[in-house]
């Protein structure tokens, strides 16, 4: 019985962590398409995720000698590094340009007028933050 539970937990671990690689794809696409230097994506957060995956690789290889586990973490590590690279590239291309983004306040479901938007209802919002 215990071996069966161990098999289920092992399968769940590989499925969840392998699936995480696919789950990162929407963030990669959003960062790639972002036109404002990907300001809403934190390199510190994703860099930390990459570091955490690197420790998973090392743990899998050096401590428990499990190459499959290390491979799953390696996939996650690569995707996190790819995202950090895209964001860094986007931020460097965007430079120090300041884009003034209007701040809209919603009152009863309608955007309020402000100094940036003479007609706030027709204002096109930025594609990413």
DSSP string, 53-118: HHHHHHIIIIIS--HHHHHHHHHHHHHHHHHHHHHHHHHHHHTTPPP-PPP--EETTEEPPBTTBT
Tens-digit pLDDT profile for residues 62-80: 999 999 999 999 999 999 9
The confidence score (pLDDT) of residue 129 equals: 54
The confidence score (pLDDT) of residue 35 equals: 83
Q: Would you say residue 29 lies in a domain? A: yes
Q: Would you say residue 66 lies in a domain? A: yes
> H/E element holding 12?
helix 2-23
Q: Would you say residue 33 lies in a domain? A: yes
Count of the separate structural domains present in the chain: 1
Q: CATH code at 63?
A: 1.20.1280
Q: CB–CB of 37/128 below 8 Å?
A: no
Q: Would you say residue 125 lies in a domain? A: no
Q: Would you say residue 34 lies in a domain? A: yes
The confidence score (pLDDT) of residue 107 equals: 41
Only one residue has tokens 């204002």, namely: 123
What's the whole-model pTM score? 0.69
Q: Residue 10: which domain range?
A: 2-98
The confidence score (pLDDT) of residue 24 equals: 92
Q: Give the pair of three-digit tokens for residue 109.
A: 């479901």
Q: Would you say residue 64 lies in a domain? A: yes
Burial of 81 (0-12, 13-18, 19+ CB in 10 A): middle
DSSP E strands, the chain:
106-107, 110-111
For every one of its 129 residues, what pLDDT tens digit does the chain have, with 9 covering 90 and above?
688 999 999 899 999 988 998 999 999 998 988 888 888 888 999 999 999 999 999 999 999 999 999 999 999 999 999 999 999 998 888 775 554 444 434 344 444 444 444 544 444 444 555
């Amino acid at each position: 019985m215990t071996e069966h539970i161990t098999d289920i937990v092992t399968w769940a671990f590989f499925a969840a962590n392998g699936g995480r690689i696919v789950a990162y794809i929407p963030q990669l696409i959003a960062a790639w398409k972002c036109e404002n230097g990907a300001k809403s994506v934190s390199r510190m957060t994703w860099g930390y995720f990459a570091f955490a995956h690197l420790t998973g690789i090392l743990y899998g290889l050096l401590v428990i000698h499990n190459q499959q586990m290390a491979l799953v973490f390696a996939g996650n590590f690569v995707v996190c590094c790819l995202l950090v690279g895209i964001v860094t590239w986007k931020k460097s291309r965007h430079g120090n340009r300041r884009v003034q983004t209007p701040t809209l306040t919603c009152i009863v479901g309608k955007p309020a007028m402000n100094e940036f938007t003479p007609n706030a209802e027709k204002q096109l919002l930025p594609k990413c933050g």
